[in-house]
Structure formats: structure tokens, C-alpha cells
């Protein structure tokens, strides 16, 4: 008797699960949880996978709100990545509920063909993508050891095959001055708010010579306590982004000089704490080509005028992509709402988002099937090889950047001292910038 087509089996399993997957997406959406607090979402995903016959690990790789479920004999091991953290104030305005449901759906779809194809499929719940580096912690904890392929989708207004995923780093900035009565004794104060203003102006002037996909943005988290008191303590949070880790290091130096200017001008003391850096994404060419064929077979399109494309963002899958062949396509949910807005949070439970769950699950499952049935691709993946030009540049450990992730710098009245300390399990070496088939516009063609 002739065996059924694995892709048809996978599609039918995803279609049967789709109504319940929409329910999962909407539950997560209705109960937004910030990074490393996603107990409900992680629990629901674990329950889903257990009922589907997966072997499930909670508190995975030492991270309380990470979860992993595995099914099938291998030898090829495909990981489907589920994100489920929300944004403060606006909930699931990046649509991570859709990511989680599509990953679970792809896992359920592949479970029906894993034995037939010699595939091990893992659905790995990765918390705290927005600002906590959950995947970095999972890398350091061995959560991706033995994985040959990492696949995920991310919702956006329109489909994008290889979005530009930038290297990024968060800097937590503090100025310390001297309080004084703002009217009676202003000359006795050292104004920490003025230091922050000087730094912000310097950064604004820096922008005229930044490259086209450099980014510097942030918020003031403490600006003073009362208008009649010279502020002795101010703080801010900045994010810096660039096309590569090498470029990010240069941008950080420029931004640090702007921050130091505030200390020099006012006499305040500056301290800077850096979070673990996100690396730039290295899309695997062969897997991206397979995903495109599969998405187009489902009626998706990557071309067209007047498209709103989610591009030039950052994600901790970049760190993973330097170790494991990976893709991170954007799947369109329609409309003109853009990510990280209240309107997009509303769109993340729209009919377009619900359809993206099914299309994303099937496209990911079919891409995994292509990976295990294409003998050349399978051989490369089993050998641990990254595709073509990306392999030569991704030979170093992909953990934290900013010289390791935990950094501090202090400056007072022109005196500057910087101290950098590496995070355990990571290396500071940085790969050279790599090319992408879909280059964003840039001044010097460096990615």
C-alpha cells in the first residue's frame, strides 16, 4: 500500500487542530504576561504538547517559564520556537500569541509523520524575547544542544521572507549629582537632569552621521522628584541597534561619548549597565527558499506594491542563528496596523491573525519535511553546517555582546573608567558582517 504524502498528512493534522489553536492564541492574548512571568502561557503550551503525545519538560534549561516538548526518533532534530511574552501597557502588540499557536500547530502536524520520516520535532517555548534574552539563557543552559534546525514565524502587516534583524543592546543609564534648593542654593547643586538633557541632545546630533539602519532610542525612567529640588538622581534606558555586532560595538562607543558629555558638562557621575546583546539574524538560505515555496503554495506572497513590511527589528533568535541553521520569516496578518501599537494588539486576534496561525503552522511543517526529505540539505544539517556564505562568518560562540553583556562605565567631571565582564558561557568574539540577499538600503553596504 502506497504511503500517504507526508505534507498532506501534516496539513490535515494542522487543519483539524486549527480551531483549538485559535483558542490557545486568544487565551494567551487575553492574559498578557511580561518576560519571565509567562506562567499561564507556558503551562497551556505544556498541556497542549502533553495531550499530543510529546515528552514535555517544564522549567526547561534552567528557565522557569521555558518549556520544551519532543516527539519522534530522529536523527534530524527540528526545533519550532514559540514566543509568548507581552509588552508592558499594550499587551500582545507584537503578536507573540500567534507565534506560540503556530509553533504548537506545526509540532502537532509533524508528529503525524515524524516516525515515517526519521524526524525528531521539538516545540520549545522561549520566554522574554522582548527585553530579556530568553533564547540567550536557553543557549547558555544547553537548551538547543543537539538541535539541527530552528524554525519560527513572526506576525506583521505583510509577509517578509528574510527581514533585517539587527544586532541590539539595552543600556541602563544613571546620573548621580547633588541635591540642593533650586532657588535658594542652586550653585550648590549638581543637576543630574541637566546631565541627561546634555546626553540626549548629543545623541540627537549624532543621528546625522549614523548609518541608515543604525538606531538609538529610549526613555527617561527617572527625571527628578520635585521642581524646586535640584535632581540628584536621574536614569534612562536606551536601545542601540546596528546591522552587525561589529557595527554595534562602534555605535556603542559613539553613544558612550554622548553620555560622558553629560557628566563632563555638569559634574554628575555616570554609570551604565548593559544587558546581554542580541545578535544579527543569519537566515539560512536553503531553509528560507523552502519556506517561500511552501508559503506561496498556501497562497502567500512576498511581492507587491504598497506593502507595509516589518523590518529592521531585533530578536534573540539572532544569537541562535549563529549556532543553528534558522529562519524567522514574517507572516502577514493583513491591515495597516504596525507592530508595537495598540492597533496591532487588536489585530493579533483578527481573522487575518487566526488564518496566519494555520498558514504558519503548515508552512513551517512543510519546511521541516523538505529539510528531512532533501538528502543534500539533510546531510548538511546533520553535519552541523550553516548554508553557504553564512557558515564562514558564524564560527564563534553566539552569546552576549557589548563585550559580554554585563558592562559598567563611570564618569564624573571628565574622568572615565569602563569595566566589562563577560556573562558565563559566552564569548566576546564577533563575526564579520555578512551579506543578505535582501539588503536594506544603507550608505556603505555593510550589514
Mean pLDDT of each 10-residue bin along the chain, 447 residues long:
84 98 98 98 98 97 98 97 98 98 98 97 98 96 97 98 97 98 97 98 96 96 97 98 97 98 98 96 97 98 89 97 97 96 98 98 98 97 72 37 41 38 30 33 33
At 326, list the grid cell: 534558522
First and final C-alpha spacing in the chain: 52
pLDDT the model gives residue 4: 84
Q: Which helix (H) or strand (E) holds 411?
A: strand 405-412
Strands lying side by side in the sheet with 215-222: 215-222, 233-242, 167-176, 269-274, 405-412, 415-422
What residues have CB less than 8 Å from 415, skipping those under 6 apart?
Answer: none
Q: Is 95 left (phi over 0), alpha (psi -120 to 50) or beta?
A: left
Query: Which domains does the chain possess?
Result: 6-165+281-391 (3.40.630.10), 167-278+396-422 (3.30.70.360)
Find residue 409's DSSP bridge partners.
Answer: 418
pLDDT the model gives residue 387: 65
**Residue 74: Cβ within 10 Å count:** 16
Amino acid at each position: 500500500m502506497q504511503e500517504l504524502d507526508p505534507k498532506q498528512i501534516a496539513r490535515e493534522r494542522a487543519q483539524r487542530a486549527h480551531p483549538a489553536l485559535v483558542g490557545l492564541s486568544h487565551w494567551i492574548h487575553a492574559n498578557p504576561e511580561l518576560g519571565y512571568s509567562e506562567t499561564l502561557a507556558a503551562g497551556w503550551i505544556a498541556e497542549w504538547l502533553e495531550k499530543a503525545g510529546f515528552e514535555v519538560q517544564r522549567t526547561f534549561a534552567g528557565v522557569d517559564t521555558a518549556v520544551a516538548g519532543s516527539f519522534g526518533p530522529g536523527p534530524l532534530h527540528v526545533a519550532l520556537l514559540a514566543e509568548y511574552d507581552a509588552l508592558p501597557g499594550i499587551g500582545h502588540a507584537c503578536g507573540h500569541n500567534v507565534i506560540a499557536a503556530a509553533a504548537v500547530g506545526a509540532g502537532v502536524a509533524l508528529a503525524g509523520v515524524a516516525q515515517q520520516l526519521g524526524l525528531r520535532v521539538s516545540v520549545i517555548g522561549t520566554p522574554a524575547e522582548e527585553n530579556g534574552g530568553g533564547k540567550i539563557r536557553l543557549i547558555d543552559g544547553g537548551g538547543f544542544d543537539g538541535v539541527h534546525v530552528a524554525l519560527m514565524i513572526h506576525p506583521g502587516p505583510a509577509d517578509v521572507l528574510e527581514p533585517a534583524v539587527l544586532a541590539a543592546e539595552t543600556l541602563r543609564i544613571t546620573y548621580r549629582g547633588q541635591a540642593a534648593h533650586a532657588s535658594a542654593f542652586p550653585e550648590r547643586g549638581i543637576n543630574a537632569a541637566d546631565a541627561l538633557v546634555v546626553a540626549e541632545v548629543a545623541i540627537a546630533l549624532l543621528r546625522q552621521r549614523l548609518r541608515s539602519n543604525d538606531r538609538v532610542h529610549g526613555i527617561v525612567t527617572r527625571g527628578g522628584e520635585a521642581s524646586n529640588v535640584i535632581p540628584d538622581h536621574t536614569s534612562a534606558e536606551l536601545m542601540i541597534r546596528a546591522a552587525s555586532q561589529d557595527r554595534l560595538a562602534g555605535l556603542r562607543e559613539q553613544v558612550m561619548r554622548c553620555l560622558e558629555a553629560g557628566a563632563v558638562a555638569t559634574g554628575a557621575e555616570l554609570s551604565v549597565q548593559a544587558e546581554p546583546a542580541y545578535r544579527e539574524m543569519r537566515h539560512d538560505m536553503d531553509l528560507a527558499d523552502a519556506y517561500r515555496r511552501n508559503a506561496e503554495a498556501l497562497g502567500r506572497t512576498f511581492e507587491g506594491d504598497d506593502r507595509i513590511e516589518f523590518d529592521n527589528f531585533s530578536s534573540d533568535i539572532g544569537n541562535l542563528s549563529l549556532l543553528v541553521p534558522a529562519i524567522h520569516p514574517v507572516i502577514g496578518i493583513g491591515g495597516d496596523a504596525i507592530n508595537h501599537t495598540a492597533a496591532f494588539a487588536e489585530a493579533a486576534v483578527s481573522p487575518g491573525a487566526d488564518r496566519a496561525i494555520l498558514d504558519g503552522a503548515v508552512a513551517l511543517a512543510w519546511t521541516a519535511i523538505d529539510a528531512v526529505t532533501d538528502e543534500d540539505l539533510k546531510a548538511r544539517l546533520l553535519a552541523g553546517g550553516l548554508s553557504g556564505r553564512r557558515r564562514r562568518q558564524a564560527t564563534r560562540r553566539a552569546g552576549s555582546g557589548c563585550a559580554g553583556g554585563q558592562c559598567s562605565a563611570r564618569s564624573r567631571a571628565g574622568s572615565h573608567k569602563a569595566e566589562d565582564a563577560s556573562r558565563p558561557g559566552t564569548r566576546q568574539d564577533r563575526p564579520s558582517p555578512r551579506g543578505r540577499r535582501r539588503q536594506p538600503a544603507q550608505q556603505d553596504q555593510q550589514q
